[in-house]
Amino acid sequence: MKARFLMMLVIVGALLSLVSGAVVAQDETVTGDLEVFSWWTSGGEAAALDALFAAMNASYPNVNIVNATVAGGGGSAARPVLQTRLAGGDPPDSWQVHPGWELFGQYVEPGYVAPVNDIYESEGWNDVVPEQLREMMSRDGNIYLVLAGVHRGNGFWYNKKVLDEQGITLGEALSVDEFFAIADQLQAADITPLCVGDSGIWATAQLLENTLLGVLGPEGYRGLWDGSVSFNSDEVKAAIAVYGRMLDYQNSDHSALSWDQAVDALMEGRCVFNSMGDWAYGEFVAAGKEDNVDFGWVSHPGSEGSFMVVADGFPMAAGAPNPAAAAGWLKAIGSVEAQEAFNPLKGSICARTDCNRESFGPYHNWAMDSFGSGELVATVVHGTAAPADFQQAMNDAVTLFVVDRDVDALAAALAEAAVSAGFASE
Ligand code: GAL
């Protein structure tokens, strides 16, 4: 089994060199174990993670990778396990982190990670990693993360065959009203319009986040995080009402399904649309589905023109058990070869501007255009826009809302959480 896995890594490594047209430089002097901690366990996530491991192995053949994962989309189960290890002085060499509040609040401030400025310099990344991304990972002149890819959080995926059968064709964008008209048409044909898998509550919080963006627009959405738009305002309540109305169209077994099982339900035609970041794309790829044939996508209703940034990065642990292997890992995953192998499987786009667009299919090219020309906004559900306490309060309030649909109560709970987290005054 192990031999087969190693053989696969060698083949993937060779393919990587072929695709990139370059032979990846090898460093045989780095040895020992490298522990990488993440929550990438779904079909698409695990396949993509293997591509990063293959890139690592191609450059550092004498390092033994220890794949430490804690299942559960969005990392809600993984982060507490990690915190316990970090607090106990038992860090993995590197682990999955989102930029922004999550990086600074949970890892930089407690001193769990070390700056990686030297790696950015030696690898020339200050010239190829977009500045907006570098800013989200930097403080006081130090940069703390290496990104493997950048997800677009505000995707609205659909089963194309089911829509075709119903004579429904979507244009470039979908408005909130258009969505409800289609949802009514589907429901009249006895088809469940919306696929949700919120056994991990973050997945329905993502639906709310995307709806806030779609209804408020990028400027209004940003205002939520700098305190200039109140969660108690009429606009926010209108957005929450739209979210509640969308829930009326969801599958009845939503709370029994994980996010990826909801994508499976979409593929099987048990329901039609799914509001999800483009890690959903990784599930389509893992299932052998084809862009624009089996599935299609638009922006979450009303959010066209915006790109909800959900970036995946890895830091260097302060006191990493194997610092040489950890540095090698960061160099490997930030390379163009690794990013061209990983991102087609993961659904994200490269975190650098020099990836070859031809290595990517229709969805990725669309997402790259969206990143290049769209309004970039930060995700709260995946830790970037607000502190962890707010994220937790939002998950708790959404858990109640899914059952009671009380718009005023959700608005009030979010407003209160924003005040206690310190980014709003009312
Ligand atoms: C996000 C992460 C993605 C994807 C998703 C679902 O937090 O950034 O890469 O894994 O969770 O698990």
Task: Return mean pLDDT, the chain.
Answer: 95
Q: How far is the CA of 327 from the centre of ligand 1 (A)?
A: 23
Is 424's pLDDT higher than 60? Answer: yes
What Cα–Cα distance (Å) separates residue 27 from each residue in 59, 112, 123? Answer: 6, 27, 15
The whole-angstrom separation of Cα 10 and Cα 2 is 12
pLDDT value of residue 20: 47
Q: pLDDT tens digits for 89-120?
A: 999 999 999 999 999 999 999 999 999 999 99
Residue 292: band (very low, low, confident or very high) from pLDDT cuts 50, 70, 90: very high
Q: Which of 382, 384, 391 to mutate to test the pocket of ligand 1 (most atoms within 8 A of CB)?
A: 382
In angstroms, what is the span from residue 292 Cα to ligand 1's centroid?
Answer: 23
Task: Summarize pLDDT for 114-153 with one digit per residue, the tens.
Answer: 999 999 999 999 999 999 999 999 999 999 999 999 999 9
Q: Which of 21-35, 63-77, 183-197, 251-265 shows the lowest per-residue confidence on average (mean pLDDT)? A: 21-35
Nearest atom (ligand 1) to Cα of 40: 10
Tell me the C-alpha distance between 420 and 425, whole Å: 9
CA distances from 169 to 172, 290, 293, 311 (A): 10, 17, 13, 31
Q: At what angle do helices 279-286 and 259-267 cross, to 10 degrees?
A: 50
Q: How many residues does the chain have?
A: 426
Distance 278 CA to ligand 1 centre (A): 9
β-strand partners of 142: 139
Res 10 pLDDT > 50: no
Mutate to test the pocket of ligand 1, among 82, 198, 309, 310 (most ligand atoms within 8 A of CB): 310
In which residue are the tokens 């950890």 written?
Answer: 326
Q: Quick one: pLDDT at residue 425?
A: 87
Alpha-helical (H) ranges within 125-188 are 131-136, 160-165, 176-188
Ligand 1, atom 12, lies closest to the CA of 73
CA 74 to ligand 1 center in whole angstroms? 5
- The pairing of strands 32-38 and 94-95 is parallel
CATH class (in words) of the domain with range 155-302+386-421? alpha beta
Please tell me the predicted confidence (pLDDT) of residue 25.
87
Query: Measured in angstroms, how far is the CA atom of residue 355 from the centroid of ligand 1?
Result: 22
Domain ranges of the chain: 2-151+309-365, 155-302+386-421
pLDDT of residue 1: 42
Tell me the pLDDT band of 370, cut-offs 50, 70 and 90: very high
- Write out pLDDT tens, residues 40-58: 999 999 999 999 999 999 9
Tokens of 116: 């990686």
Report the pLDDT value the prediction gives residue 123, as an integer from 0 to 100: 98
Q: What is the mean pLDDT of residues 385-391?
A: 97
pLDDT of residue 63: 98
Nearest to 335 by CA among 59, 62, 98: 59
pLDDT at 263: 98
3-state secondary structure of 290: coil
Fold of the domain spanning 2-151+309-365: D-Maltodextrin-Binding Protein; domain 2 (3.40.190)
Query: Which of ligand 1's atoms lies nearest the C-alpha of 310?
Result: 8
For residue 21, pLDDT over 50 is answered with no
Write the CA distances from 239 to 211, 221, 236, integer angstroms.
6, 11, 5
Residue 313 has pLDDT above 50, yes or no: yes
Q: How far away, in angstroms, is 187 Cα from ligand 1 center?
A: 30
From the CA of 75, how far away is ligand 1's center (Å)? Answer: 7
**Lowest-confidence pick of 8-12, 164-168, 347-351:** 8-12
Atom of ligand 1 nearest to the CA of 312: 8
**Ligand 1 pocket test target in 38, 41, 45 with most atoms within 8 Å of CB:** 45
Task: Compute the distance from residue 288 Cα to the ligand 1 centre, in Å.
Answer: 20
CA end-to-end distance (rounded Å), the chain: 58
The sign one gets for the Cα dihedral 145, 380, 220, 305 is positive
- Quickly list DSSP for 189-225: TT---B----SSTHHHHHHHHHHHHHHHHHHHHHHHH
pLDDT of residue 269 exceeding 70? yes
Q: Quick one: which atom of ligand 1 is closest to the CA of 98?
A: 8
CA 115, 117, 123, 124 torsion-angle sign: positive
Which of 97, 204, 279, 380 has most ligand 1 atoms within 8 Å of CB, for mutation?
Answer: 279
Q: How many CB atoms lie within 10 A of CB 421?
A: 18
- For residue 42, which atom of ligand 1 is closest to its CA? 12
Res. 5 pLDDT band, cuts 50 70 90: very low
For the segment 235-257, the average pLDDT, to the nearest whole number, is 98
Helix (H) or strand (E) segment spanning residue 390: helix 388-404
Pocket around ligand 1 at a 6 A CB cut-off: 39-40, 45, 73-75, 151, 279, 310, 312, 382
State the DSSP code for 104: I
Q: Whose CA is nearest to atom 7 of ligand 1?
A: 74
Q: Which of 38, 151, 204 to mutate to test the pocket of ligand 1 (most atoms within 8 A of CB)?
A: 151
pLDDT at 8: 52
Please give the Cα distance from 237 to 244 (Å, whole number): 10
Whose CA is closest to atom 2 on ligand 1? 74
Give the position, in ligand 1's atom list, of the atom nearest the Cα of 38. 10
The residue whose CA has the least distance to atom 11 of ligand 1 is 74
Q: Which atom of ligand 1 is nearest to the CA of 277?
A: 5
Q: DSSP labels for 32-71?
A: EEEEEEE---SHHHHHHHHHHHHHHHHH-TTEEEEEEE--
Q: In CATH terms, are 2-151+309-365 and 155-302+386-421 the same topology?
A: yes
What's the predicted TM-score (pTM) here?
A: 0.94
What pLDDT was estimated at residue 148? Answer: 98
- Nearest partner of 28 among 337, 334, 336, 324, judged by Cα: 324
- How far away, in angstroms, is 46 Cα from ligand 1 center? 11
Per-residue pLDDT band at 24 (split at 50, 70, 90)? confident
Percent of the chain with pLDDT over 90: 94
